[in-house]
Amino acid sequence: MTASLSVSIVTYAPALPMLCTGLRTLAVSLAKARAAGSLGSASVEIVDNGPGEGFAAPLAELVSRELAPPLKASLHTGHGNVGYGRGHNLALLASDADYHLVLNPDVDLAPDAINEALLYMEAHRDTVILAPEARDSSGRPLHLCKRYPSVLVLGLRGFAPRIAGGNLRRKLDSYEMRDLPRDRPSTMVPLLSGSSCSAAVPRWPRSAASRTRSSSISRIST
């Protein structure tokens, strides 16, 4: 079964070369998913949060150059800085796709990322949000899945993450769910986060809003 997908990227004073690289990896991943038969139609919307109007023209040029047909690509600009979440909501609320991908402008996707994500979501229809296996530019794993933190953990994260040792280090590791396997998906994850995180979110009717299973899947993002 082929699924439709919409993608939103919210920018604020973006590093254009980095965004260009990310858009190229997105285009490749979308093309591979379409060739594999998991993806039907796809649309990408860049939401320009500024600052000011100076990024509108270079973003428009970037979109037209890197996101060519059959992709449907657009730039939403002129609304000012409405914030990260609301910026993505502008695109999400306008979408009628089966799934929506929230993508940061500094994320490079693996070629098989979108195909794997769509296959997983279609095979696990009770899953409502999917987070990636992510790594930083040095190849070190990023721990995007989280448990609910205590006040102590929040304090350690904010003021002493590098010097915590012993039992304090174990508390931080538990919060970041470092015990999760990295070679297969994990389910029932309490929190998903990350500054370089992509997530596929299925749209569902209000009557089905009680579905709350979260999953983490490997090799979505690198």
Q: What is the pLDDT of residue 164?
A: 64
Dump pLDDT digits (tens) for 8-45. 999 999 999 999 999 999 999 999 999 999 999 999 99
pLDDT at residue number 20: 96
Task: Tell me where in the chain the CATH 3.90.550.10 domain(s) lie.
Answer: 3-143+178-217
Question: How does 13-37 read in b/e, with b if 16+ C-beta sit within 10 Å?
Answer: ebeeeebeebbebbbbbbbbbbeee
What share of the chain has pLDDT > 70, as a percent? 83
* Per-residue CA distances from 63 to 51, 151, 154 (Å): 18, 43, 39
d(CA 5, CA 200): 9
User: What pLDDT is attached to residue 26?
Assistant: 95
pLDDT of residue 161: 65
The dotted CATH code for 3-143+178-217 is 3.90.550.10
With bands split at pLDDT 50, 70 and 90, how would you rate the model's confidence at 222?
very low
Burial 63-95 (b: 16+ CB within 10 A, else e): beebbeeebebebbbeeeeeeeeebbebbbeeb
pLDDT band at residue 205, thresholds of 50, 70 and 90?
very low
Does residue 32 or residue 152 have the better pLDDT? 32
The per-residue pLDDT for 179 is 87
Q: Flag whether pLDDT at 210 surpasses 80.
A: no
Q: Which one has a higher pLDDT value, 183 or 89?
A: 89
Q: What is the pTM of this model?
A: 0.82
- For all residues of the chain together, what is the average pLDDT? 82
